[in-house]
C-alpha cells in the first residue's frame, strides 16, 4: 500500500500578469473566502517523487509527469492526502500506460476534459476517493451552462420553424378566402377593414417576411475574465467532505 496525494496549483500560466492576478483574486475569494471553488490545476502522486497530470498537445499523449509540487507553469497551492492504494507499483505503471493511450493531448477541453477530470479517473482506478468537488467546480458549472445554452438555442430554432410554418398555413388559408370574394358580414360587429380576410392575409404575410426572429446559437456569446498567483504552503492534509 502507498499514499495517493493530490497536488493543487493556482492556474497562472496565461502570460499576462493582469490575468494571473485576477485568477489569484478569484481563487482567494471563492475558495479561501467561501469555499466554493476556483481555477486550479491538479496532479496525482503515487509511488516515488513524481506527480502525474494531463494537458494539451497536438500529437501524442497528454499525460505527463514532473517532480511533485514543482510544476513550473503554475503556482503551488497545497496537497491533499486522498487515501491509500492497494495496487503494486507495477500495476500503477500499467494503469498509467493505459491512461496515456486513452488521454491524447489533442482531446484536451477546458470544460469537459481537463487535468482535473484526468486526476478523477486516475484516482478512481487507484481505488481512492475522487477529487473534492471544489477543485473542478468552475469547469463543471461552465460545462453545464454550455449544455443548457446549446439546448436552449435548439429549442428556439425549433420554435421559430413551427411559428413560421403555422403563419404560412394561416396566410394561405386567408388568402384563399379573400380570393373567393367572401366579404365580411355587413351585420357583424367586427365589420371593419381591420377584420377583413384581405387585411389579415396581408398582416400574416408581413409577419412572415419582416417579423422579429428569435435568438439563435450564434447570438450566444461567452465572456472571458482576466485571472493569477502566489505560492502557498505545501503541507498535506486530508480533504474535507464537499
pLDDT for 107-142, tens place per residue? Answer: 998 888 999 999 999 999 999 999 998 998 877 665
Q: In whole angstroms, what is the distance from residue 180 CA to residue 188 CA?
A: 19
Q: Mean pLDDT, to the nearest integer, of 227-233? A: 37
Distance between CA atoms of residues 100 and 112, nearest Å: 18
Which of these, 146, 142, 149, lies nearest to 38 by C-alpha position? 142
How confident is residue 52, by pLDDT bands cut at 50, 70 and 90?
very high
- CA-to-CA distance for 42 and 66, rounded, in angstroms? 12
What pTM value is reported for the model?
Answer: 0.60
For residue 109, give the C-alpha cell.
Answer: 477541453
Q: What is the pLDDT of residue 61?
A: 96
As a whole number, the mean pLDDT across the chain is 75
pLDDT grade for 163, boundaries at 50, 70 and 90: low
The position carrying cell 487507484 is 126
* pLDDT bracket for residue 230 (50, 70, 90): very low
User: Do residues 121 and 44 lie in contact, with contact meaning Cβ atoms separated by under 8 Å?
Assistant: no
How confident is the model at residue 197, as a pLDDT? 54
Nearest to 45 by CA among 113, 126, 109: 126
Give the residue from 138, 137, 117 showing the smallest Cα distance to 62. Answer: 117
All cell numbers assigned to 186:
355587413
CA angle 205, 151, 148 (to 5 degrees): 135
pLDDT at 171: 63
Can you tell me the distance from the alpha carbon of 188 to that of 173, in angstroms, rounded to the nearest whole number? Answer: 21
Q: Are 57 and 115 in contact (CB under 8 A)?
A: no
Cell numbers 482576466 correspond to: 226
Amino acid at each position: 500500500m502507498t499514499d495517493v496525494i493530490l497536488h493543487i496549483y493556482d492556474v497562472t500560466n496565461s502570460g499576462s500578469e493582469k490575468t494571473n492576478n485576477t485568477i489569484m483574486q478569484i481563487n482567494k475569494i471563492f475558495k479561501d473566502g467561501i469555499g466554493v471553488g476556483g481555477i486550479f490545476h491538479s496532479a496525482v502522486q503515487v509511488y516515488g517523487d513524481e506527480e502525474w497530470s494531463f494537458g494539451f498537445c497536438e500529437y501524442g499523449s497528454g499525460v505527463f509527469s514532473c517532480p511533485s509540487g514543482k510544476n513550473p507553469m503554475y503556482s503551488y497551492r497545497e496537497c491533499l492526502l486522498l487515501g491509500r492504494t492497494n495496487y503494486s507499483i507495477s500495476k500503477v505503471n500499467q494503469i498509467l500506460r493505459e491512461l496515456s493511450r486513452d488521454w491524447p493531448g489533442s482531446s484536451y477541453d477546458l470544460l469537459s476534459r481537463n487535468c482535473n477530470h484526468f486526476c478523477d479517473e486516475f484516482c478512481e482506478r487507484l481505488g481512492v476517493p475522487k477529487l473534492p468537488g471544489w477543485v473542478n467546480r468552475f469547469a463543471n458549472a461552465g460545462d453545464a451552462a454550455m449544455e443548457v445554452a446549446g439546448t436552449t438555442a435548439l429549442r428556439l430554432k425549433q420554435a421559430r420553424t413551427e411559428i413560421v410554418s403555422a403563419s404560412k398555413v394561416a396566410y394561405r388559408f386567408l388568402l384563399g378566402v379573400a380570393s373567393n370574394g367572401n366579404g365580411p358580414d355587413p351585420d357583424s360587429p367586427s365589420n371593419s377593414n381591420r377584420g377583413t380576410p384581405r387585411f389579415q392575409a396581408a398582416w400574416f404575410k408581413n409577419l412572415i417576411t419582416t417579423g422579429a426572429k428569435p435568438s439563435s446559437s450564434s447570438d450566444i456569446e461567452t465572456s472571458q475574465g482576466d485571472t493569477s498567483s502566489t505560492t502557498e504552503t505545501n503541507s498535506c492534509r486530508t480533504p474535507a467532505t464537499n
